[in-house]
Structure 1
Amino acid sequence: MQSQRESGNTSAPLLLWLNGGPGTSSLLGVLAETGPIRFDPDSLEPKLADTPAWTDDFDVLYIDQPVGTGFSYASNADGFATSQEEIVLDLFEAFQQFFQLFPEYYEKPLYLTGISYAGKYVPWLAVRVHDENQKPETRQYPLEGIVTINGFTDPTSAFSDTAQFLYQHGLVDRNGEAQIQEGAEILAQATELEDWLTAVLIIADFGNNETGLLNNLTGYTQMYNVADPYDQGLPPGTWEIYPEFVNQPKIRDAIHVGQTPFGGGYDVQASLLLDFPQSAKNKLVTILNNNYKVLLLNGAIDLVLGPRTCTSLLNSSNDWRDLDLYQQSKQEILKDETGSVVGYLTKVRNMWQAKVLGGTHYAPANVPGPVYSILKEFIAASSIGR
């Protein structure tokens, strides 16, 4: 989708947007998070978003991936990815084809962005693009930086202090805190041993909605909002209705998908089961150490992937050359145009860590204004050392 700020804007940066899941279609991003389109849940008619859209100022490329997600399909089970290595092979091929079809984008700044499980996809793809750019015979992709929102980049960091967080919010007692902390320690041990089956069972046991440890201890059926046990993160009915919306013949015609079935993502999740507990921290550190711009944004009330998980991730990134600077840094207060506090921002060279007040797991949807303001400021900022 091209920037709506000016017709034919030739200078707007290009943003690649990826939803997470795994198995969540990036059309959800178009229709409920960062795109300019919404839909009426009763009539299934499209309408313009009444909140800031990322396409207001930027060109945004939305890709359904891994293969089997949304309108991206595989003819049989062998086509489903089982690892980030396989995901990035497919994604980079699509990425290359896009630039071959639209070579004008070689001249525009490029940012790779995504939410939740895309906290793995984004750094993996960024490193792949970086590596490709080191080849002298290759036309350079104009990669400037990456953005992750509530990224599931490093599962061990995500769960390391969840028990304390839930206790401090009054959601569990000391006994419940001890149970959750025990699981986090087993997860860390299994991760160190690369015992991925044990690790994924711990994660599944914690958050399996109505049968998991979180539900048993707190009654929460969703993990998107620490203040609401039932919040699905998006407007009521979105998850159930948006597949029906995109499957309408007129919508399928408009996005040129022919008779391709719309995948619900379950096969994608199953194929990537053992990828769930694996970390992409080393890929993120590679991007940081090569002076790319990095924005790590978290909604302050995301129950599982809030700001504390990003702080744990960065503090455990021992190979990050600016770790000492980060640990000595001080955050600044973010205010909107009315002077109201909307969040906090820490800057260390090209790394920005943003915390958005009121932001749930789907912060671009529930606090779109502050998220978009931070994004614009980040992209407008000069890169240091590149």
Structure 2
Amino acid sequence: MARFPQLICLTLFLAAVVRHGLPSAPRSGGEAWDYVEVRAGAHMFWWLYYADSPSAGYKDLPLVMWLQGGPGGSGTGFGNFEEIGPLDRDLQPRKTSWVQAASVLFVDNPVGTGFSYTDGPDGFATNVSTVASDMLVLLQHFFTEKPEFQSIPFYIFSESYGGKMAAAISLELTKAVAQGSVKCSFAGVALGDSWISPLDSVMTWGPYLYSTSLLDDYGLSDVTSAAEKVKQAVENEEYLKATELWSVMESVVEADTDGVNFYNILTQQPDEKLTSAAGESFIALLTRRHIHPLHRQSLSELMNGPIRKKLAIIPQNVTWGGQAEQVFSFMAGDFMRPVVDVVDQLLTAGVNVTVYNGQLDLIVDTIGQEMWVKRLKWEGLPTFNKLRWTPLDDPASPGVTGAFAKTYKNFAFYWILRAGHMVPSDQGPMALQVLKMITQQD
């Protein structure tokens, strides 16, 4: 559904003036958005920003789809206004917006996330296979409606649980492109702080926190004991039980570290300590821990206020983020299931795969990422492992190392320094630089 850029900019301009006074006007790039009914009663929302570069037209730059985590976190909300979109939460221009280097497609995924919604319980996805098949329907619709993007390099970028979904989507998309059912130029997938192997993350929390002096010997013993229970459930393929035990383990970590922030170990939880309340289900607690931070009040007010009015197609009974807890609940049985084998299949199929991870992330710590990477069956892994990493300058601080990188054939790994779970939020200039490197603009 096309929209006039002049009307869009005027709407944002007026909203910003009302809330914050006269802002600095961003360059006016084109936008489009729409719903796709991916299954009966399952409606998925997407929002596209055309690349807005002073040196190149959008047809000369790649298309990037951004997938948020959770599951239940909104890309059109958090990813857009808190991380990589052209405007921040206060509707001020973002200097490190990815729109200056690519057209960016935000999708509220799985169905029920953000402005996406279901007509009933049967519409929610319960596993990544359904998530992937839903996304293929949306992409088929998108590339049919926007044929100008069919020949433009298309990348899937992701964060957290979004990476698990991105891996599954990428594999199905690769098959669909080969069969001709989706017409696009799929160029690769980037897995940011991604929940690819949940158990590897869980089993390394204790050693990581101990090595950074956030646990003492007693705390390490507590966390290790809790991790072993999660491990046993995963090995028995009791994935719903594993998710519940994972929630218990998080409470142990929080108690023994006096409230370390799972998204950045140098900070404490931003609000009250998130221990379970009497009678509260583990799903409700996990939602408070991992979905609510992506739906903070000021962002919710923006999305359900000026943005909802701007979009003008959101059904009256749909609230941004209103079905997020149900999204998480329906996916809980699949949450702890690994998808390392999917990454292996992508690499074997010749798909360009990138892993990037924040140094200060706990929930998907880099140690855990390295463990599953080293178990890949990909034929290039032995050579990759022998490589020394290359330091990369931080664009915001020339002469200061901002990341390390290692690349071989169709696999790359970026270690992003001084970043937590949300790399673009913590290290915007470095994240933008990595985007350009992955999409071969540098």
In structure 1, which of residues 240, 252, 260 is the aligned counterpart of residue 297 of structure 2?
240
Relative distance call for 1:90 and 1:334 in structure 2 (3 A) is same
1:5 aligns with 2:53: yes
Deviates most, 254-263 or 287-296: 254-263
1:17 aligns with 2:28: no
Which residue identity is paired with 2:83?
E
Paired-residue identity, % = 25
Gaps of 5+ in 2: 1-48, 272-289
Distance (whole Å) between structure 2 residues aligned to residue 229 and residue 263 of structure 1: 25
Distance (whole Å) between structure 1 residues aligned to residue 177 and residue 119 of structure 2: 32
Distance (whole Å) between structure 2 residues aligned to residue 91 and residue 139 of structure 1: 11
1:83 aligns with 2:132: no
TM-fit CA distance, 1:188: 2.8
Distance (whole Å) between structure 1 residues aligned to residue 270 and residue 308 of structure 2: 30
TM-fit CA distance, 1:253: 3.4
1:358 aligns with 2:401: no
TM-fit CA distance, 1:245: 0.4
RMSD: 2.1
TM-fit CA distance, 1:96: 1.0
Gaps of 5+ in 1: 41-45
Contact 1:225/1:231 (<8 A) preserved: no
Distance (whole Å) between structure 2 residues aligned to residue 80 and residue 140 of structure 1: 27
Which residue identity is paired with 2:81?
L
Query: What's the counterpart of residue 7 of structure 2?
Result: none
Query: What's the counterpart of residue 43 of structure 1?
Result: none
Distance (whole Å) between structure 2 residues aligned to residue 25 and residue 47 of structure 1: 20
TM-fit CA distance, 1:24: 0.7
Query: What's the counterpart of residue 223 of structure 1?
Result: 262
Deviates most, 260-269 or 11-20: 260-269
Task: Report 1:105-184 matches (<5 A).
Answer: 105-135=149-179, 137-138=180-181, 140-184=183-227
1:47 aligns with 2:92: yes
Relative distance call for 1:274 and 1:11 in structure 2 (3 A) is same
Relative distance call for 1:138 and 1:73 in structure 2 (3 A) is closer
1:327 aligns with 2:395: no
Query: What's the counterpart of residue 253 of structure 1?
Result: 309
TM-score (norm 2): 0.79
- State the secondary structure of the residue aligned to 1:95: helix
Which residue identity is paired with 1:33?
E
TM-fit CA distance, 1:359: 0.2
TM-fit CA distance, 1:69: 0.6
Contact 1:332/1:345 (<8 A) preserved: yes
Query: What's the counterpart of residue 213 of structure 1?
Result: 252
Query: What's the counterpart of residue 368 of structure 2?
Result: 309
1:240-268 Cα deviation digits (max 9, x unpaired):
211110111x4223224332322241110
Contact 1:71/1:257 (<8 A) preserved: no
Runs in 1 of length 4+ with deviation above 6 angstroms? none
1:78-105 Cα deviation digits (max 9, x unpaired):
1111111111121211111111110111
- State the secondary structure of the residue aligned to 1:151: coil
1:91-134 Cα deviation digits (max 9, x unpaired):
21111111111011111001011101111110110001111123
- State the secondary structure of the residue aligned to 1:365: helix
1:270 aligns with 2:329: yes
Which residue identity is paired with 1:203?
W
1:108-161 Cα deviation digits (max 9, x unpaired):
0010111011111101100011111232x5464211100121111110111222
Distance (whole Å) between structure 1 residues aligned to residue 142 and residue 302 of structure 2: 26
- State the secondary structure of the residue aligned to 2:259: coil
Task: Report 1:20-99 matches (<5 A).
Answer: 20-27=69-76, 28-40=78-90, 46-49=91-94, 51-99=95-143
1:53-78 Cα deviation digits (max 9, x unpaired):
11001001000011111110001111
Which residue identity is paired with 1:152?
W
1:346 aligns with 2:406: yes
- State the secondary structure of the residue aligned to 1:114: strand
